[in-house]
């Protein structure tokens, strides 16, 4: 300032926003601010290009200032100040813009607790299991798990299959087959009527004792029924010795198993069908009740609809060391006799060829398992357990029915 006039040239201020021109000049257009990290917090409006700064004002020459009469620096300062303020005022609102198209950013959808639990898919689970199986713990655990599963499957199969094959009761007599049920079988609601004396509720007559106890001197326990056996046997056509055996078996079971309700007519029917009361194969009952010669059935070799049972008694009872055979007046299989054999005449022997022992053993077998032979279902099941042939059960029913009716005449 030499002559009292201000000759300093005013230069515009720099804009507040960065410029994009490569030259770095002060007049380049301004761009928008960078997009924030969280676009959902912005207003979502498309960003507009920043308004270009106004062109800078050319400096006023010193000659124009000198020639201006009565003009002071105060007169020109307001105009320059206003222009400078207008140029230097930054934008107060910066809207978000995309780098390329300028389209508004998509609002991200937030799901509550979406990241809290993430369940692995089947492939991830398979990969994890495969990786675990390669570890020492997996190599020890997996074989143990497979072994437990195998043992459980075997036990389940055994529980289902073994009772069906081994648990079924084996028939007592021979020729057990699975013939279809004949159409002429009586309805299951019927049982053969009991015979006349001794009734199921009768007690043992004087001198008659259950097997295993001391009998009366000079005779068998069943000899007390000799009179009844002679009279009733004449009515029904049965040898008195066989009648004594059937009647005595009913009385013994009436004392030892009252719930069974066995009648002598059922035992007599079985004796008729099996051996004609001990007279099959030209045999005869002796005074002691033993069938002579011994009644021995065909070998159980699987032929002729017979069961196949290999020898179990080494030929002691059936005289056959290859296959088992049905034996005695009631045709017991040796294995069944070993289980259920009885000594009804108190001679100290369980003889399947003696009709007294065989009749009592047959009655005990029919009453086995808590059966009540006064119930039709139990009666039929008992006969079929003795010999699982439908025609056989029908023949026993018919014979028992005839004996019961004939004994009451």
What is the per-residue pLDDT for 125?
Answer: 81
The distance from CA 132 to its chain's CA centroid, rounded to whole angstroms, is 30
Alpha carbons 200 and 1: distance in angstroms, whole number: 156
Alpha carbons 396 and 272: distance in angstroms, whole number: 8
Closest C-alpha among 381, 400, 363 to residue 266: 400
Name every residue whose Cβ is closer than 8 Å to that of residue 291 and which is 6 or more positions away in sequence. Answer: 275, 278, 279, 283, 284, 285, 328, 329, 353, 354, 355
Output the average pLDDT for the chain: 74
**C-beta of residue 307 within 8 angstroms of C-beta of residue 339:** no
Phi-psi region of 162 (alpha: psi -120 to 50; beta: other; left: phi over 0): alpha
**C-beta of residue 30 within 8 angstroms of C-beta of residue 19:** yes
Name every residue whose Cβ is closer than 8 Å to that of residue 159 and which is 6 or more positions away in sequence. Answer: none
Q: Which residue ranges make up each domain of the chain?
A: 1-101, 221-406
User: For 261-314, what is the HEC assignment?
Assistant: CCCHHHHHHHHHHHHCCCCHHHCEECCCCEEECCCEEEECECCCCCCECECCCC
Name beta bridge partners: 301. Answer: 308
Report CA-CA distances (Å) from 386 to 188, 382, 389, 392.
17, 6, 9, 10
Q: Write the DSSP string, 312-343.
A: SSTTTTTS-SSB-EEETTTTB-HHHHHHH---
Residues in the chain with pLDDT < 70?
A: 1-120, 162-190, 195-219
What is the per-residue pLDDT for 156?
Answer: 86
Query: ω before 293 within 30° of 0 (cis)?
Result: yes
The distance from CA 250 to its chain's CA centroid, rounded to whole angstroms, is 45
Condensed to tens digits (0 to 9), the pLDDT of residues 23-81 reads 445 555 555 556 556 655 555 555 444 445 555 555 545 454 444 444 444 444 444 44
Alpha carbons 351 and 359: distance in angstroms, whole number: 11
Q: b/e for 59-85, b at 16 or more Cβ within 10 A?
A: eeeeeeeeeeeeeeeeebeeeeeeebe
CA dihedral in degrees (62, 68, 72, 78; nearest 10)? -80
Inter-axis angle of helices 226-236 and 240-256, nearest 10: 120
DSSP annotation of 76 reads H
């Amino acid at each position: 300032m030499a002559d009292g006039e201000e000759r300093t040239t005013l230069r515009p201020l720099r804009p507040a926003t960065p410029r994009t021109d490569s030259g770095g000049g002060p007049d380049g257009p301004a761009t928008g601010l960078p997009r924030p990290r969280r676009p959902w917090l912005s207003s979502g409006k498309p960003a507009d290009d920043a308004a270009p700064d106004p062109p800078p004002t050319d400096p006023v020459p010193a000659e124009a200032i000198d020639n201006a009469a009565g003009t002071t620096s105060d007169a020109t300062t307001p105009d320059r100040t206003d222009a400078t303020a207008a140029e230097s005022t930054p934008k107060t609102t910066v809207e978000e813009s995309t780098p390329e198209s300028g389209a508004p950013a998509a609002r991200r959808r937030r799901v509550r607790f979406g990241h809290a639990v993430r369940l692995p898919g089947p492939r991830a689970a398979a990969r994890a299991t495969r990786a675990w199986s390669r570890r020492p713990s997996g190599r020890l655990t997996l074989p143990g798990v497979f072994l437990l599963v195998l043992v459980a499957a075997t036990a389940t199969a055994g529980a289902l299959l073994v009772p069906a094959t081994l648990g079924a009761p084996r028939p007592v007599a021979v020729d057990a087959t699975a013939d279809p049920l004949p159409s002429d079988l009586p309805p299951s609601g019927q049982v053969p009527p009991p015979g006349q004396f001794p009734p199921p509720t009768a007690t043992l007559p004087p001198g008659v004792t259950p097997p295993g106890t001391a009998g009366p001197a000079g005779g068998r326990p069943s000899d007390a029924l000799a009179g009844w056996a002679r009279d009733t046997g004449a009515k029904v056509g049965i040898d008195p010795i066989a009648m004594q055996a059937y009647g005595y078996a009913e009385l013994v079971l009436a004392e030892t198993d009252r719930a069974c309700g066995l009648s002598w007519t059922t035992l007599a029917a079985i004796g008729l069908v099996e051996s004609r009361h001990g007279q099959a194969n030209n045999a005869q009952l002796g005074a002691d009740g033993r069938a002579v010669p011994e009644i021995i059935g065909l070998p159980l070799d699987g032929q002729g609809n017979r069961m196949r049972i290999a020898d179990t008694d080494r030929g002691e009872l059936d005289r056959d060391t290859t296959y088992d055979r049905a034996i005695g007046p009631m045709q017991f299989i040796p294995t069944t006799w070993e289980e259920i054999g009885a000594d009804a005449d108190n001679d100290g022997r369980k003889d399947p060829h003696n009709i007294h022992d065989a009749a009592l053993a047959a009655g005990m077998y029919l009453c086995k398992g808590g059966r009540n032979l006064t119930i039709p279902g139990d009666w039929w099941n008992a006969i079929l357990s003795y010999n699982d042939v439908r025609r056989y059960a029908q023949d026993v029913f018919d014979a028992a029915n005839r004996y019961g009716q004939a004994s009451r005449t």
